[in-house]
Structures are given as structure tokens and as C-alpha cells.
Amino acid sequence: MNIQIMAQIVSFFAAMVLLTAFGMLVQRRIYGLIHLFAWQGVFLSISTAVVGYMASRHHLYISSVLTLTLKVILLPYILHSLIHKLRIRKEIETVVNVPLTMIIGIALVIFSYHLTAPVRELSTFVTRSILAIALATVMIGLLMMITRRHAVTQIIGFLAMENGLFFAATSATYGMPLVVELGVAIDILIAAFIFGIFFFHINTTFDSLDVEQMARLKEED
């Protein structure tokens, strides 16, 4: 298949990754947020496989399967179980209203394109055009961590940031060494279990996972 067509396919899935990042940014229901995170993992996995085929980097196929297993199946399952056990049902509260958050997100995308322009001009990789989208995904994940009051949604924002970093590695260098990717995947999985334990202890102590409410209790002490 023509390299340019493959690059367009990768660009399409890159756009879908960015679209799901914006979807998570404005999503107010926590189950919807997890579903969007899973879909982002699907698009990321397919994009990685296409880049592996296009660049003849066979280790990216393993990365694709690893992404699918970890970010589409395992992590959403862990988050679903955590929310069910913590009995979280209410809508997600945000520090900044949704329209303003969207405007900030769009500004971050423009900034990402401006920041990566010199790199895209110098790079010889066909996938260099999606580097800006990868950086924008990282920044939107960080924005979601800043603008959300619930601890679980902040962790999903952190995982979305990691998706952006992985996407950046795929687009900028055709992937990291497989040993590094396996190490990162194991670290993320272990972190998910540790976060789950912390959430149970926080919920037991404060009877809430609202970080603003916990800060208010600290000020009162």
C-alpha cells in the first residue's frame, strides 16, 4: 500500500485520539469518561499497528497488542470495578465551566502546532505531522487533571497524558525499545492498583473523593 495513504490513515486515527481527548475534557459522567478512555486506547492501538506496518517495525505490533490489552481491557475494567465498589454515581464536578475548558483546550492545540513546527520541518519521518496532536493530547490530559475535582477523574487524566506520550514516541521515533514499553506498561498497571488502594483509604477516611472537600477539611484542621 502507498506510504502516503498509510500516513493519511495514521493521521485519521490521530484525529480520533484528539477527538476522544476533547470528549473526555467535556464529559461529566464518570462511566462515559472511562468509555472514552477505552476508545482512545483502541485508536491508539490501531494507529500503532499501522505505523508498525508502514515502517516495518515489527515490535510495534507487540506494542499495539499491549496497548489494546492494557488500555482497552484491563485499565477500564479496574476503573469500573473501583467505581462500583466506591459507589460513585454522581456527575463529575469541574473547577472551570465546560465552554471555557473547551476554549483552553483549543488554545492548547494551536500552541502545540506552533511549538512542534520546527521539529516537523526537520524530521524525516512520515508520521511527523501527528507529533502536534500527540503533544496536544498530553496537554489536554494535564488540563483535565487540573480542572477536575474528583480523584478518579484526575487519574484518568494522568492516563490520558501517558497515551499522548506514547503517541508522541510512536510518531517521532517509530516507537521506543520493546523492553522500555513493557516496563512502562507494567508500571502503569501497578500504579493503577496502588491508586485503587489509596482511593479506598481516602474514601474511608474522608467519606469522599472530592479533592476540594479534602482540602477544606485540611484547612479546618
Per-residue pLDDT of the chain (221 residues; tens, 9 = 90+): 577 787 788 888 989 999 999 998 888 788 888 899 999 999 999 988 888 888 787 888 888 888 888 889 888 888 888 777 767 666 666 677 888 888 999 999 999 888 888 877 766 566 677 888 888 999 998 898 888 877 778 788 888 888 888 888 777 776 666 555 665 666 666 666 666 665 655 555 555 555 555 555 455 55
| pLDDT 10s digits, 133-153 | 888 999 998 898 888 877 778
CB burial readout 184-207, b (16+ within 10 A) else e: bbeebeeebeebbeebeebbeeee
- What 3 state SS string does 94-121 have? ECCCHHHHHHHHHHHHHHHHHHHHHHHH
Q: Are the beta carbons of 96 and 25 closer than 8 angstroms?
A: no
What pLDDT does 145 receive? 83
Separate counts of helices (H) and strands (E) for the chain: 9, 0
31 CB contacts (<8 Å, ≥6 apart)?
80, 83
**Nearby residues of 141 by Cβ (< 8 Å), 6 or more positions away:** 21, 157, 158, 159, 160, 161, 162, 163, 164
Burial class (CB in 10 A: 0-12, 13-18, 19+), 131: buried
Tally of structural domains, the chain: 1
CA distance 78 to 188: 12
How far is 103 from 87, CA to CA, in rounded Å? 32
Copy the grid coordinates of residue 113: 502546532
- The backbone torsions φ and ψ at residue 15, rounded to the nearest 5 degrees and listed phi first, read -65, -35
Name the pTM for this structure: 0.79
How does DSSP classify residue 72?
I
Q: How far is Cα 21 from Cα 156, in angstroms, rounded to an integer?
A: 11
Of 35, 69, 64, 68, the C-alpha closest to 50 is 64
pLDDT of residue 51: 84
Please tell me the predicted confidence (pLDDT) of residue 203.
57
Q: Give the residue numbers spanning the domain of 80.
A: 3-220
**Grid coordinates given for 115:** 511549538
